[in-house]
Amino acid sequence: MDEARPHRAAEDSLAALLTEHALGYLHSAALRTAARLGVADHLTAGPRTAEELASLTGVSAPHLRRALRLLATRGVFAEDATGAFRLTPAASLLRSDGPSSLRTAVVMLTDETFWKPAERLEDTVRAGHTVFEEIFGAPFFEHLARIPQAGEDFDTGMAGLSTSEDDAIAAAWAFPERGTVVDIGGGRGGLLRRVLVRNPGLHGVLYDREQVLRDHTLDEPELAGRWQACPGDFFASVPSGAEVYLMKRILHDWDDEGCLRILRACRAAMTTGSRLLVVDAVLPQGNEPHPGKILDVLMMTSLDGRERSAQEFHRLLSAAGLRLTRILPTASTLSVVEAVVEAKSS
C-alpha cells in the first residue's frame, strides 16, 4: 500500500477547497445576476427551463443556465432531470413580492459600492484604512449622497435586509408599556414600525437624515398619531428625554472615534431611567463561523467600520459614560446590547 496516498488525497481535498474559496466571487456574481434579472419572480408559478427564463428576461439561455446551475450547487434554485429550474427555500427569498424578500439586499451587497473596495482588501490591510475614497472620490456616505441612484439602492437594500430581522429584534427585548422610543439612524422605519405594532402604548421618533425620512414606512392607520419623523445629525445630537434609544446597524459603520461621538450624543440626551439598545452583531471568540465575521471585513473595506465582541462593546460604552447591562441574542444574526447611563461615583 502506498502510505503517501492518504496524505495526497487530503492535500487534493484541501486544494479543491481553497480553489473554491478563491473563486467564491463567482457565486456572488451569479447571485447578483439572478436577482437583477428577477429569475425567482418568473418561477413563482412553477419550474421553467433556461430557455423559457431567457425568453422572459431577454438574455442568453445557455449562459443563464450555467449561472443558475452554479447557484443550484448551493441550494439557490434546483435543476430537475428535464433541465427545468424551480424555486428552493433560499431562492424564494429572491422573489420581489415575498414578505421577507432579500432581492434588494442582494443587489445592494453585490453592488460595486461594496465589490470594488473588497477587490482592494490587500490595499486596505496594508494601509490600515479603507481605500474607498481612492476608488470613488469621496467617503462612503458622501458618495451615496453625491450619486442619487447609489443612495437609493443602498436605502432600499438596507430596508430589504431589515425586513427579515425587525420582528425578531422587536420581540427580543421587553419594551415598556408607555413612553417614547427614538430610533436613531432608523432609515425608513421598519424596525420602529415593528416595535410600535408590538407595543401599542409607545410613541416613536424616527431620527435620520432628511432625505432618508422622505421614504419612511410609518404612515399606516394603526400607527396614526403615535410617531413623528425628526431630521438631524446623530453625531451632533439626538432627541432628549426618551425612555428608549434604539440604534440598529449604526455603530458597526464607524471606527471607535466615530462611535464615541454618536454614543456621547446619546448619553447627553438620556436620563437616568433611559435605556440604549445597540443592535449589532456581537462577535464570538474563537474560530467558529459567524455572519458578523463576514460583515466585519465588509465594514473594513468600505467604511472603516467594524463588528465588535462583547468586550469591545463594554469598553466603547464605558468610554462614553454608559454601562453595558446585558446582551440579548435574537432570532436573527444580531444581538441587543443594552446600556444605561453610568452612575457617577461620589
pLDDT, greater one: 219 or 317: 317
Q: What is the mean pLDDT of residues 77-86?
A: 96
Indicate whether 150 pLDDT > 70.
yes
Output the pLDDT for position 98: 82
The proportion of the chain whose per-residue pLDDT surpasses 90, expressed as a percent, equals 85
Q: What is the pLDDT of residues 276-304, one digit of tens each?
A: 999 999 999 999 999 999 999 999 999 99
Distances (CA, A) of 76 to 25, 66, 198, 288: 15, 13, 33, 24
pLDDT tens, 28-55? 999 999 999 999 999 999 999 999 999 9
The answer to whether residue 95 scores a pLDDT higher than 80 is yes
pLDDT band at 345 (very low <50, low <70, confident <90, very high): low
Q: 318 pLDDT exceeds 80?
A: yes
Helix 256-269 and helix 310-319: axis angle, to 10°?
Answer: 60
DSSP letters spanning 34-98: HHHHTHHHHTTTS-EEHHHHHHHHTS-HHHHHHHHHHHHTTTSSEE-TTSEEE--HHHHTT-TTS
Contact between residue 313 and residue 283 where contact means Cβ atoms under 8 Å apart = no
Residue 198: count of CB within 10 angstroms of its CB: 12
Tens-place pLDDT, residues 201-232: 999 999 999 988 988 989 989 999 999 999 99
- CA 112 to CA 294: how far, in whole Å? 17
Give the angle subtended at the CA of 205 by the CAs of 200 and 208, to the nearest 5°: 145
Distance, in Å, from the CA atom of 259 to the CA atom of 195, rounded to the nearest integer, reads 24
CA distances from 297 to 149, 320, 337 (A): 24, 25, 21
Rounded Cα gap, residues 30 and 34, in angstroms: 6
Tell me the pLDDT band of 3, cut-offs 50, 70 and 90: low
Could you tell me where the beta strands, DSSP code E, fall in 176-233?
179-184, 202-208, 227-231
pLDDT at 266: 98
Tell me, what DSSP letter sits at residue 340?
A: E
Is the Cα dihedral 149, 150, 152, 153 positive or negative?
positive
Mean pLDDT, rounded, for 304-313: 96
> What 3-state DSSP class applies to 337?
strand
CB contact set of 102 (below 8 Å; sequence gap of 6+): 93, 94, 160, 161, 163, 164
State the pLDDT at residue 273.
Answer: 94
Pairing outcome for strands 244-248 and 227-231: unpaired
263 is written with which cell numbers? 454614543
Residue 75: which of 86, 65, 90 has the closest Cα? 90
Q: Are 338 and 327 in contact (CB under 8 A)?
A: yes
Which helix (H) or strand (E) is 299 found in, with range? helix 291-302
pLDDT one-digit tens code per residue, 252-271: 999 999 999 999 999 999 99
> Is pLDDT above 90 for 91?
yes
How many whole angstroms separate alpha carbon 5 and alpha carbon 183?
A: 60
Mean per-residue pLDDT, 131-141: 96
Label residue 4 by pLDDT band (50, 70, 90): low
Please list the helix, strand and coil fractions of the chain in percent, rounded to the nearest 5, in that order: 50, 15, 35
By residue count, the chain amounts to: 346
Measured CA to CA, the distance from residue 184 to residue 233 in angstroms comes to: 9
Catalytic residue check, 129:
no
Burial class from Cβ neighbours inside 10 Å (0-12, 13-18, 19+) for residue 236 reads exposed
Dist. CA 70–CA 31, nearest whole Å: 9
pLDDT of 2 reads: 62
**Pick from 251, 279, 276: which is nearest to 341 by CA?**
276
Q: Residue 1 has what pLDDT?
A: 52
Of 143, 203, 216, 252, which residue is the catalytic one? 252
pLDDT average, residue stretch 176-193: 95
Stretch 90-98: mean pLDDT: 94
